[in-house]
Structure 1
Amino acid sequence: MKTKLIYFLLLVVLLCSYTLKSQTITDFSTELPLVIISTNGETILDEPKIMATMKIISNANGINKFTDTANEYNGYIGIELRGSSSQLYPQKPYAIETRNADGSNNNVSILGMPEENDWALLSNYNDKSLMRNILGYKLFQTLGNYAPRAQLVDVIINGSYQGIYLLTEKIKRDKNRVDIAKLKEEDNSGEELTGGYIFKIDYWNSYDSWVSPYSPLNHPDYDVHFVFHDPKWDELTWQQKAYIENYVTEFESKLYSVGYDNPTTGYSKYIDVASFIDYFIVSEISRNNDGFKKSRYFYKDKNGKITAGPVWDFDWAWKNINECYIFKATDGSGWSYKINECNPWVKSPGWMVRLFYDTEFKDLTSCRYFDARENLLTDEYIFGIIDSVYNTVKNPQIKHFQKWDVLGRNVGAPEIDEQPQTYEGEVDKLKEWITTRLRWLDANMIGKCNYTNIASNTTAPEILLWPNPSTDVINLKSVINITELQVYNVSGLLMMNDIVDNDNCSLNIGKLKQGYYLVRIKLENGETIVKKFLKNR
C-alpha cells in the first residue's frame, strides 16, 4: 500500500509539472517577435536539415503571445544545428531554410528583411549583452558596406522556451545580400568565369578548401586555408575552383613581392582597398578575436577585385578574454589583425600585416578612421545603438536569463573581468569596455592623416561639394568665384591642379585610386578652403 502511495504521489508531481510547463508556454508572451518551431518529434541534427514547421508572430501592438495567429511566417522550414564551438553551448544555434511543402526553397521576407530562404538563429549564450553581433553589423553597415540584417527574437522549440536569439540573414550571393554575379555551372571561361565568388577563412576540410602557397609574414611554418563558401565546393567546376585559387595566389604573389605597393601593378590592382580598411576598423574597434582568423569572408564579383567582408561572428568580441596577450589586455590595447602571434588553430593569411608596410595604406586607414570617429562612428552613435537594443530587450531579457542562468558566471569565452550580476551591469560593462578601447585606438591608430599639411582659411565661405563619395566626377559651388582646385592625397602629395570656371566647376576624378583626398579650393578674393572627399571604387 505504501509503495502504491509513493507511485501515486510521483505521478501527481509529474502531472503537475507537465501542467505547469504547458501552462507556462501557453501563457507565454513577449515584446520581441516570437518564433515557434515544431520538429514533430524529430531531433535537430548537425547535418542534414530536417523538415519542421515555423510560425513567427510580430504584432503591431508589440505584444506577441504563444496563442496568437502567425502573421510574419507560417510554414515549413529545414533546420539543422550550425556553428562549431557554439554548438557546445546549452543554447544551440541553428541554420534555417524556409521551404514549401515539397521541400523546395521558399523565398520570403521576414521581419522586414528582403526575400530569401536561408537564415540563421544565433544563440546568445556567449553574449550576455545580447547585442555584440548587432553592434558589429551596424558599424560595418554605417561605413557603407553590406552586413547581415538581423532582428532579436524569442524562440520556442517543441513547446520549450529557448531564450533570445538573433534571427539574421545567412551570408550568400543574392541581390539583397552580397550583390555579385551568379556563377553558373556553364561559366567556365572568359568574362563569365571571373565572378562571383564568396570564400572565407574558417574551419576547413581537405575537400572544401585550398591551401595558399604563401605563409604569413614571420610565420613560415603556418599553412593558410581558404574555404569555398558560395558557391560551395561541390557546386563549383574544376575550372571555377582553379580560377579563384589562381586569382588569390596572383594577388598574394604581388602582395609579397618587391613592387607590392606600385599604384598600377601592385596589390591595389587585386583588392578593394576601401573595404579592407573598413573591415579592419570594425574588427579593431571590437577587438574581435575571430575577425582575422575565423568567420572571415571575402568576395569577388565578375571582373571585380577581392572585397573584404561581410563581417560576421562577434560573440568573442567587445570583451577581455583570457586567451592571448592581445585579447586579455584591460587597458584597451592590442591589435586583432596580429592574431597569428597567438598561434590560432585557424591561421590568418596575414594580409593586413603586409598591407601596413605601405605608408599610403596606413595613411588611408588613419584618415578613414578619424573621419568616421568625427562623423559616422562617434561615441554617441555607438552608445545610441546600445541604448536602442537595451530598450528593446530590457523586459524580455528577464525570461532569457531565467532560462539561461549565466549572469554573474564566467561561461563561454573565458573572460578575465568580474561578471556583473545583472543585465544592466552587463550593458554598463560593455559601454566601459568600448570607451576604453576607443580611447586607445584614438591615441594609437596606425598611419597619419596629414590634413594639417595643407593650409586653409577657416573663415572662407561654405562650399558645396557633391556627390561625396564619388566614382567619376565631383562638383563644387561657392558664392565667391572659384579660380583653382588642387587635389592632394592623404600624405599631402599634389595629385591634380586645375584652373576652373566657377559656372561649371567640376573635377574628373576617375583616374584617381579609391580612397580619401583633400581638395584645396582657391577663391577669387584670395581665400582658400579645404574639403575632404572619398573616391569610391
Structure 2
Amino acid sequence: MNLKLYFVFLALFVYALNGNAQYSNFSSKLPLVYLNTGGEEIRDEPKIQAEMGIIWNGTGELNQTSSKFNHFQGNIGIEIRGSSSQMFPKKSYGFELHDENGEDMDFPLLEMPEEEDWILYAPYSDKSLIRNVLTFTLAEKLGAYSPRCRLVELFINDKYEGIYVLMEKIKRDKNRVDIAKLKPEDLAGEELTGGYIVKIDKTTGSGGSGWQSDYVNKMQRRTFYQYEYPAADEIHQTQADYIRNYISDFEEAVYKHEFDLENGYQQYIDINSFIDYMIINELSKNIDGYRLSTFMYKDKNEKLNIGPVWDFNLAYGNANYGNAWETFGLEIYVDLGDDQWQNPFWWSVFMGDRNFTKALRCRWDDVYFDVLATEQVINTIDSLVVLLDEPSERNFARWPVLGEWIWPNYYVAPDYSSEITWLKNWIYERMRYLNLSIPGDCDSDPTQPLDFALSTFPNPFTHKLTIQVTSDKNLSLGIQLFSVNGNRVHEQRTPVSEGLTTIEINTASLQRGLYIYRVLKGEVEVEVGKVVKM
C-alpha cells in the first residue's frame, strides 16, 4: 500500500472512531434519543418510516448509552424541516409518532403534554446552542403559551449527531395554541369566527398558500399571510375569506391611524399579546422577528393575538447583516434594503399611537424589574450551560464549527466558553439600551386629543436620523439639532401631512457624540429629546 493511500484509510478510521465508537458509551444529564431508519436517508418530504427510542431517567438524573430504552420506544414518520437551515450539514427534523398500525399517536415525550407532532431542532450556526431554548423560556415567563422544549443528545442509525432540541410543533391543541377546532361546516355566525392560525414567513418549508396585504411597508413590499390552521388544502373558502377580511380590516384601521381604543385598530387585536411579542423580539433583537416565522391566531369570538414566538437562532447578535450584532436600535425599524421580506407596516405605526406606547412602556417597566430582570436572564443562561458541560464537547467534536465562520455569524469565538461570555455581555448591553429607549411614557394621559405623535430612530444613529410623525392634520414642523455645548448643527422646516410622515435627516457630516433635538410646531416647542451619533 502506498503512503498516500495509507493516510486516506487512517483518516477514515479516525473519523469512524470519533463519530461512532468514541460516543458509544457515556453518561449524560440530557435525554438520549435514538433514531433507526434502517439505513434509509431522511428526506425533505415525504416522511419516511423509522423507529425512535429514548433513554431518560428523569430530570437531574444521568442517562447511560448502554441502558435500554426506558422512556419511549416506537414508530415515527420523519422528514427534514426548515428553510435556509437546510443548507447546513446538521439537519433539523419534523416527526410524528405512530402506533403499531401506522396511525398517529399521542405521547408525553419528556414530560411535555402528550401530542403526536414534534420537532428535533439542530443548533448549528448558533454555537451557544441555546438561543431558541433561552427565548422560549423567557417568553413563557410573560404568561402566554411558548413552545416547550428539552435539550437532548441524538443518535441516528447508531451514529452520534450532537445536541438537539426536542420541541413542540406550533399547532392547534388544548396544550399548545388553545383555540377552538374549526370544523368544515362552521361557515356562519359565531362558529365562523374561530379558531384560526396564520403566519408570516417564507413560502419554502411548510405552508405557501395565502394572500398579500393591501398595504405596503416602507420598502414598498406587501406582507404575505399564509394559512396555517386550517391548512390551505382544508380551509373552506368562506373561512379563508373571513380571516383574510378580518386581518384586512385591522390593517385598514392601522393605515388610517384610527387610534381610538373602542373603534380603532385595537378592536381587532389583543394589544397585550403584541406588546409582549415586541418585548421578546426586541430583547433578543431578532433579525427574523416580525417579518418571518411570525404566527398569529384568533379564537372564536376573540381578538387577533400574535405568537407564539418562534425561531431565534439568528437573534442576540448572531447575524452579520441589518446591524443585527449591534446592541442598540429597535428591530421594528430595521432597514434590510431590497430584501423581499420586510416588517409589516403596522409595527412602526403603533409607535405613533400613545395608547400603544404607554402600554408598552408600562409593561416593560414591570418585566424589566421582575421576570426579565437582567440577572434573571443571565441565570437562565447559566442553568442551561450547566446541562451542556460535557455534551457541548461531544457536539463540537461531531460538528467542529468553533472558531469557524458559519453563515451568518457576526462573532466567531475560539471556544464554547467564549461564545457564552459574548452572549452574556451582549445581553447586558442590550438590556441597558432598551431600558433607556423603549418608547412611551407610563405616566402620560393618551386620552388627551392627539395633535401628533413623534418617534425618533435609530438611537444611537450613524449616517441617518429618521423621525416619524403621525398627525391628524397638516402641520409645519421645525426640527433642530444641537451639540452638547449648545451649537446648532442642523435646522430645517418640514411640512407634515395628515397621517404618517417620515422625515430623514442626513447626519453623515456630524461627529460622534450626544445631540439634543428640538421639534417646534410653528414657533412653539413641542418636544425635546436626546440622540447619540455613533
Relative to the length of structure 2, the TM-score reads: 0.79
1:126 maps to which residue?
125
**5+ residue gaps, structure 1:** 451-489, 495-537
Deviation at 1:9, TM superposition (A): 11
1:214 maps to which residue?
215
**Whole-angstrom distance in 1 between the partners of 2:332 and 2:377:** 22
**Local SS of the residue matching 2:135:** helix
**Whole-angstrom distance in 1 between the partners of 2:137 and 2:367:** 13
Distance 1:420 1:20, change over 3 A: closer
Deviation at 1:177, TM superposition (A): 0.5
**Whole-angstrom distance in 1 between the partners of 2:302 and 2:354:** 25
Deviation at 1:322, TM superposition (A): 2.1
**Whole-angstrom distance in 2 between the partners of 1:131 and 1:13:** 32
8 Å Cα contact 1:254-1:266 kept in structure 2 = yes
**Whole-angstrom distance in 2 between the partners of 1:9 and 1:263:** 74
| Counterparts of residues 175-324 of structure 1 (less than 5 Å) | 175-204=174-203, 208-216=209-217, 218-219=218-219, 221-258=220-257, 260-319=258-317, 321-324=319-322
8 Å Cα contact 1:340-1:350 kept in structure 2 = no
1:365 aligns with 2:360: yes
**Whole-angstrom distance in 2 between the partners of 1:286 and 1:9:** 46
| Counterparts of residues 106-121 of structure 1 (less than 5 Å) | 106-121=105-120
**Whole-angstrom distance in 1 between the partners of 2:296 and 2:7:** 61
| Counterparts of residues 382-397 of structure 1 (less than 5 Å) | 382-397=377-392
**Local SS of the residue matching 1:210:** strand
8 Å Cα contact 2:202-2:208 kept in structure 1 = no
8 Å Cα contact 1:25-1:159 kept in structure 2 = no
Indicate which of 434, 442, 446 corresponds to 1:449: 442
Q: Aligned letter for 1:447?
A: G
Q: Aligned letter for 1:188?
A: L
Indicate which of 424, 430, 436 corresponds to 1:437: 430
8 Å Cα contact 1:124-1:130 kept in structure 2 = yes
**Whole-angstrom distance in 2 between the partners of 1:154 and 1:102:** 28
8 Å Cα contact 2:97-2:116 kept in structure 1 = yes
**Local SS of the residue matching 2:233:** helix
**Whole-angstrom distance in 2 between the partners of 1:386 and 1:442:** 20
2:475 maps to which residue?
none
**Local SS of the residue matching 1:229:** strand
8 Å Cα contact 1:39-1:52 kept in structure 2 = yes
8 Å Cα contact 2:355-2:446 kept in structure 1 = no
Distance 1:22 1:333, change over 3 A: closer
Which region of structure 1 is more displaced relative to structure 2, 12-21 or 440-449? 12-21
Give deviations 1:79-122, integer Å, cap 9, x for gaps: 10111011111111111111112221110001110000111111
**Local SS of the residue matching 2:197:** strand
Distance 1:422 1:10, change over 3 A: closer
Distance 1:441 1:18, change over 3 A: closer
2:413 maps to which residue?
420
Distance 1:30 1:187, change over 3 A: same
Q: Aligned letter for 2:396?
A: F
Give deviations 1:108-161, integer Å, cap 9, x for gaps: 001110000111111110111111111211121111111000100000011211
Q: How many residues align?
A: 445
1:402 aligns with 2:397: yes
**5+ residue gaps, structure 2:** 449-534
Indicate which of 478, 491, 498 corresponds to 2:445: 491
Deviation at 1:253, TM superposition (A): 1.1
Give deviations 1:469-515, integer Å, cap 9, x for gaps: xxxxxxxxxxxxxxxxxxxxx53869xxxxxxxxxxxxxxxxxxxxx
Q: Aligned letter for 1:374?
A: F
**Local SS of the residue matching 1:214:** strand
Q: Aligned letter for 2:122?
A: S
**Whole-angstrom distance in 2 between the partners of 1:15 and 1:287:** 44
Q: Aligned letter for 1:315?
A: N
8 Å Cα contact 1:126-1:315 kept in structure 2 = yes
**Whole-angstrom distance in 2 between the partners of 1:361 and 1:198:** 24
Deviation at 1:345, TM superposition (A): 2.6
Give deviations 1:185-235, integer Å, cap 9, x for gaps: 22122211111111111012796121111112x34x312100111221111
**Whole-angstrom distance in 2 between the partners of 1:21 and 1:124:** 18
Distance 1:70 1:440, change over 3 A: same
**Local SS of the residue matching 2:214:** coil
8 Å Cα contact 1:279-1:309 kept in structure 2 = yes
Distance 1:27 1:492, change over 3 A: same
Distance 1:17 1:433, change over 3 A: closer
Give deviations 1:165-197, integer Å, cap 9, x for gaps: 111100011000010001112212221111111
8 Å Cα contact 1:79-1:97 kept in structure 2 = yes
**Whole-angstrom distance in 1 between the partners of 2:122 and 2:11:** 32
8 Å Cα contact 2:128-2:416 kept in structure 1 = yes
**Whole-angstrom distance in 2 between the partners of 1:7 and 1:395:** 35
**Local SS of the residue matching 2:38:** coil
CA RMSD of aligned residues (A): 2.5
**Whole-angstrom distance in 2 between the partners of 1:7 and 1:374:** 64
Deviation at 1:26, TM superposition (A): 3.1
Distance 1:442 1:157, change over 3 A: same
Q: Aligned letter for 1:440?
A: Y
The percent of aligned pairs where both chains have the same amino acid is: 40
Deviation at 1:63, TM superposition (A): 2.3
Deviation at 1:282, TM superposition (A): 0.5
**Whole-angstrom distance in 1 between the partners of 2:63 and 2:105:** 24
